[in-house]
Amino acid sequence: KHIKALGYEECKIKDKIAVKQKEGMVCYELERRIKDIMPISEIRAMLRDIYAKLGIDKAAKATDLRNLYGYDIKEDKMRMEDGSRKNIYKIKKVK
């Protein structure tokens, strides 16, 4: 079905396989690095690092966790030691 949609062209099929492999590697890296509670800026920095390491040309957004990689995220705020408040996500793996 997918191969037919790609027009049976070898280069398109190989590109699709490479994309899927990179998605799998991103998921593996996330499993290693992610914590239950993380500041949004830290999530973006982590994704930016993973994308750069794997050669993925994509803007890193914290919502990628929910939209692309199957995490349930809930936005919240956390008081820091200096008295400021920082936006955080509470993260759970769903898929």
Percent of the chain with pLDDT over 70: 98
Q: Is the pLDDT of residue 89 over 70?
A: yes
Are 62 and 89 in contact, with CB atoms under 8 Å apart? yes
In three state form, how does the secondary structure of 49-93 look? HHHHHHCCCCCCCCCHHHHCCCEEEEEEEEECCCCCEEEEEEEEE
pLDDT classification of 81: cutoffs 50, 70, 90: confident
Q: For residue range 12-50, what is the model confidence (pLDDT) as tens digits?
A: 888 878 878 888 899 899 999 999 999 988 999 999 999
Q: According to the model, what pLDDT value does residue 95 have?
A: 61
Q: According to the model, what pLDDT value does residue 24 have?
A: 85
